Amino acid sequence: MWERIERVAQPETEPLSLAEVKQQCRVDTVVTDDDAFLTRCIRAAREAIEGPDGRGLAIMAADWRLTLDCFPKEVRIPMGPVLSIVNIVYVDGAGAAQTLDPADYHWRPGRYEARIQPAYGKAWPAARSQLDAVTITFKAGFKGTEEDPIKLGNIPEPLRVAMMMLIAHWYMVRSTTVVGTVPTEIQHGFEDIMNMFAVGHVA
């Protein structure tokens, strides 16, 4: 299932500000030499957590796409939190793309997943027998990150801390090897925090 999920768009903003990250890395606010690097690290740290390439979470509201070859009895989106189902598009018997009426299905969000079924008295339409016949676009992220202005208060603080710890590590260690030391993972660090939110393929 994970290989069938892809990101449609990046979020409009990040869960951490540059100022927060510079404070974590103990960089004076007036020093701008590494601002571009730290800005890239913020995005990289978020992507290390989000979606199928990360830990199966969605932090900031953005559109994702799940592609299936047919309609199963129940569609399960194995990541989240899912904020809304943007649309469900399928290829009909004539090969034309059709958008399913939202009244023809209902969905239920879980903590970090969502399930979609036909509405009561309805059935899934007949999709053409082909690869990628069904496409489900959904918006996922913590509540409030889809609003304007964006609200970050519902993002669990451990996730923000985990991102800052990872960024601080990248800031201090800018190569793939460390010479002359024996690396030791810090207790209660990034991995321990991620295990608190383990979902999907890492649960």
Parse the chain into domains and list their residue ranges.
11-58+148-202, 62-140
Helix (H, G, I), strand (E, B) or coil at 182: coil
Answer whether residue 184 shows pLDDT above 70: no
Cα angle value 8/14/16 (rounded, 5°): 155
pLDDT at 200: 53
Answer whether residue 202 shows pLDDT above 50: no
* Structure-token match 């690097």, residue found: 37
Per-residue pLDDT band for 191 (boundaries 50, 70, 90) equals confident
Per-residue pLDDT band for 196 (boundaries 50, 70, 90) equals confident
Beta bridge partner(s), residue 91: 97
**Tokens (6 digits) for 164:** 């800052």
Instruction: Write the pLDDT tens digit of every residue in 63-100.
Output: 999 999 999 999 999 999 999 999 999 999 999 999 99
In whole angstroms, give the CA distance from residue 1 to residue 76.
Answer: 9
Beta bridge partner(s), residue 76: 115
pLDDT at 194: 80
Mean pLDDT of 106-118: 95
In whole angstroms, give the CA distance from residue 6 to residue 77.
Answer: 12
Instruction: Write the pLDDT tens digit of every residue in 134-155.
Output: 999 999 999 999 999 999 999 9
Question: What topology is assigned to 11-58+148-202 in CATH?
Answer: Hypothetical protein yqbg (1.10.3230)
Q: Considering the entire predicted model, what is its pTM? A: 0.88
In whole angstroms, give the CA distance from residue 5 to residue 64.
Answer: 7
